[in-house]
Structure 1
Amino acid sequence: MNWLLVVAGGMIGAPLRYLTDRAVQARHDSVFPGGTFTVNVTGCLVLGLLTGAAVASPLRLLLGTGLCGALTTYSTFSYETFRLAETGARTQAAVNAAASVVAGLGAAFAGVALARAVWG
């Protein structure tokens, strides 16, 4: 039965990722992959909140594995960073890689700290 929770979360996370990516990219005329950056950092924040709140297993499966698993994307991040470097936008590729790691970790730590402060 656990797999149904993962599927349900994924059914929300995948379209949310697509729609967020399109919305962010439509607002910025840039080669920087802002949509992927946004969903990945958001997913890190949500996972940090879930970890810090020590939520029950069913909710972790639904939101952590399902929603965040479908929302975030390491493969797209890697591909977009590679494409930036390959097309000569090496500075933007480096900024994307560094900012994604720093912002993702920062969001995860912030999520844990916020959850612990709220649900202690």
Structure 2
Amino acid sequence: MALTSTRRRASIHAHRDPVLLGVVFLGGAVGTAIRSLLGDAFAGPSGTWPWTTLSINLTGAFLLGLLLEGLVRSGEDTGGRRLVRLGVGTGVMGGYTTYSTFMVETTDLPWPMATGYVVATVVLGALLAWAGIRAAKAFVPIGGTA
């Protein structure tokens, strides 16, 4: 029975599976709550460098690279790994990172500062995602557990 249920669930696209949608929804609520709490606790004045949003997006990029590479190295995208990928990766990290706030804050900055903020976010985000991938490669053996 469990094997049939697992096979059926694996054959359903994630966007059509109510259980997987629920996992993403709950993860997104958790990630958004964390981001909101951090944003409120460390809010800076409008028109100043948005350190909180930058920090959130950069840590999110690193953690997502670490998580996804660790999951890939640990086995196929099925069962618990699929739930973790969708719940934590898509849900929590999707709610935690905030590129919409990043863009809104960019419009509140003077042009030279806004340009620096965009470049810093994109370049450092890519570097930190790469660092997360490298860290997972160093610590998660292929076929190991993540």
TM-score normalised by the chain length of structure 2 = 0.72
Q: Structure 1 residue 95 and structure 2 residue 134: aligned?
A: no
Could you tell me which residue of structure 1 aligns to residue 51 of structure 2?
34
* Mapping for residues 1-120 of structure 1, pairs under 5 Å: 1-25=19-43, 31-54=48-71, 56-84=81-109, 89-120=110-141
CA RMSD in angstroms, aligned pairs only = 1.8
Shift of 1:59: 0.2
Amino acid of the structure 1 residue aligned with 2:135:
L
Shift of 1:51: 1.8
Structure 2: segments with no counterpart, 5+ residues: 1-18, 73-80, 142-146
Runs of 4 or more, structure 1, over 3 Å off, are none
Q: Distance in 2 between matches of 1:119 and 1:35?
A: 30
Structure 1: segments with no counterpart, 5+ residues: none
Amino acid of the structure 1 residue aligned with 2:57:
N
TM-score normalised by the chain length of structure 1 = 0.86
Amino acid of the structure 1 residue aligned with 2:86:
L
Which has a greater percent of helix?
A: 1
Residues paired across the two proteins, number:
115
Identity %: 37
